[in-house]
Structure 1
Amino acid sequence: MAPIHIPLDRSTTFDAMLSVSPAVGPVVLLNIISLPPGADKESFLKTWTRTADFLKISPGHISTQLHSAIGDGNFIVNYAVWENNEDLKNALYKPEFRKICEDFPDGTEFRACVLQKEAIPRVCAGL
């Protein structure tokens, strides 16, 4: 069983978010990851590090931060900032990146979405 990709936003697909044209940015890749029971977290982290090393040298990458739930840590969130959705798409679609992803533990679930800032007066700064 390979890693599983599940839509996070039910109103649109991840591919549609990546394909918005003209490109928008900056954007955040929010990837919520669940490891299956019994998965080797160290194996996951080694593979994730390889993907992060690949992505951080890709055009448009700004930053990446991984977070794990307190406790067993099998609930993981990746928060990555990119200059725009087009650069993110170009990096994620590279065959070299996809090849690395084949090494994630079987049954790992990925729920991803591409976000941009909302401007809310007196609360949130906009773009």
Structure 2
Amino acid sequence: MATAKPFTPLDEKFPFDRQLGIAAAPVVLVNIFTVDPADEEGFLSAFEAAAEVITKAPGFISMQLHRALGESPTYLNYVMWESTETVRAAFADPAFVAKLPAYPASVVARPHLFQKVAVPGFCTA
């Protein structure tokens, strides 16, 4: 997947591009962003513009952005998708890709895909 701003793998052994090749449904995209404090406002503006596109993509279910407590401008974005296929299509959409250069240079994005796991007595898959 070619994008205007590259992603940094959360797990070097199994980067995001490889995860997108696995057929799975539903999936959760967790993206951890680190940002220079001076660029926080620019990050939020760019995030909002990209979210305007992503949230209209087929297969999008929901999204929530979280900010780390205190003085650490680290963000966690949690996005539920119908499948890896829908994530792949959304991230390849030219309208989304066109939004990526607006992120400040200090922003590092670490996307990773997950699926729910059942733990008897605690959570369901």
- Normalised by the length of structure 2, the TM-score is 0.90
Residues 3-47 of structure 1, C-alpha deviation per residue, up to 9 Å, x if partnerless? 552111233120111111xx21110000000002432x1211111
**Is the CA contact (8 Å cut-off) linking 1:3 and 1:107 kept in structure 2?**
no
Instruction: State the alpha-carbon separation in 2 of the partners of residues 27 and 8 from structure 1.
Output: 16
Residues 53-80 of structure 1, C-alpha deviation per residue, up to 9 Å, x if partnerless? 1011100000010000122351000000
Q: 1:46 to 1:37 in 2, by over 3 A?
A: closer
Unaligned runs of 5+ in 2: none
TM alignment of 1:23-34, pairs within 5 A: 23-34=23-34
Instruction: State the alpha-carbon separation in 1 of the partners of residues 5 and 41 from structure 2.
Output: 16
**Is the CA contact (8 Å cut-off) linking 1:25 and 1:84 kept in structure 2?**
yes
Kindly tell me the number of residue pairs found equivalent between the two proteins: 122
Q: Could you tell me which residue of structure 2 aligns to residue 89 of structure 1?
A: 88
1:63 corresponds to 2:65: no
Unaligned runs of 5+ in 1: none
Which stretches of structure 1, 4 residues or more, deviate above 6 A after TM superposition? none
Q: CA RMSD in A?
A: 1.6
1:19 corresponds to 2:18: no
- Normalised by the length of structure 1, the TM-score is 0.88
